[in-house]
Amino acid sequence: MRILLGVSGGIAAYKAVLLLRLLREQGHAVRVLPTAAALRFVGAPTFEALSGEPVTAEVFEDVAHVPHVALGQGADLVVVAPATADLLARAASGRADDLLTSALLTARCPVVMAPAMHTEMWEHPATRANVATLRERGVVVIDPASGRLTGADTGPGRLPEPEEIARVALAAASAPSGGAGATRGDLAGRRVVVSAGGTREPIDPVRFIGNRSSGRQGVALALAARARGAEVTLVAANLDEAVVAGARAAGVAVEGVETTAQLRDAVRGAAGTADAVVMAAAVADFRPAVVPGAKIKKVPGAGPAPIELVENPDVLAELARERLRAGQVVVGFAAETGDADTSVLEHGRAKARRKGADLLAVNAVGDGRGFAVETNEVVLLDGTGDEVGQASGTKREVADAIWDAVAKQMSGI
């Protein structure tokens, strides 16, 4: 992959060296585009030695090859780390006063920016407005980390670690059609809610009723929507902390939950202003009627005490029925297994008619399919159970196919 690594003039520029080495070790060709201020923190010889390519901030060098246009046109991915408040402002306003900002205007590939600055600068309304503008255009702006800044200061504004920046950037570049989803911004201005993971219903303070969902498909949906310009809220049911941190770094708002009741409250709380709600979480259908305050003890020879179960609310059916916002698109998932009498798709058709969602993604699970793997295969049904599409491949590819279908339905909102 041909990557442009933009570096602007902040103390965190030294971490760009680590990011450069990481990207090169993964086999990518990287051309560093520093600002003049960045070269006061890290010299051109360092970037040239590690990249194997020339380094300049000027548009008047090597003019015959028109680098201020050609570099952006030929890139597969642009990463800016660190992105200072000044660089964010210049990029948002469309300035082209150095090689980096010129390349940003000509790039038609995914663009990922990792801001780093003092907390007061990050929280200033001008910076917030510039970030919002860039995100609306489809740029992936990673939220900065919180921690030690220059001197004794601490707070949000710290550059994320190079490994996290690389992970988010390469994920953005993996969108279908060479990353078009990450840059076309077809969900810009939209607000979406995605649920992911598996709910857990406590039996006692130690044990719970759960399921095998890893949440990977839901997280892929959240990241794909964010890359396409949407404002995304991810309701995360028992997801791994590293996955949650990665979603937050990509600009996704995350609310963690454990039980179905908590997920229901969180989704409904966010859905009132959402253009689309995608229920990708595996939600427990039942919960224990009574949860004791102490661990249930095993009594030798007595056998297990029966556990009375009660039905949980049907969150997807509620959302489809109530439509908490006019014109809202509601999408559900049906993880199914076939049986002796009924196929996976037949089960899905019955569920589509019962739930009433605009789209239902039906996928077969079990035997290494669906749960805890990197790939997925779904059939999209409408509210009557008719097939309206299919998607297969990586979970990110499936996510983009689902958002393609959702975007068509939202076009009238």
Active site residues: 211
- Cβ-based neighbours of 199, under 8 Å, separated by 6 or more: 210, 211, 237, 238, 257, 258, 259, 260, 262, 263, 281, 282, 283, 284
H/E run at residue 191: strand 191-197
> Strands 2-7 and 387-394, how do they pair?
unpaired
* Cβ proximity of 260 and 279 under 8 Å: no
Residue 39 DSSP symbol: G
Q: What is the DSSP letter of 383?
A: T
Neighbouring C-beta atoms of residue 212, cutoff 10 Å: 12
Token pair 């210049």 is found at: 90
Instruction: Please give the sequence-ordered ranges of beta strands (E in DSSP) within 90-158, or none if there are none.
Output: 111-115, 140-141, 145-148, 154-158
Cα diameter, the chain: 88
Tokens of 226: 């964010």
Q: How many CA atoms lie within 13 A of 114 on its CB side?
A: 29
Contact 127, 135 (CB under 8 A): no
> Is residue 186 helix, strand or coil?
coil
End-to-end CA distance of the chain: 37
Query: Half-sphere exposure (CA, 13 Å, Cβ side) for 381?
Result: 25
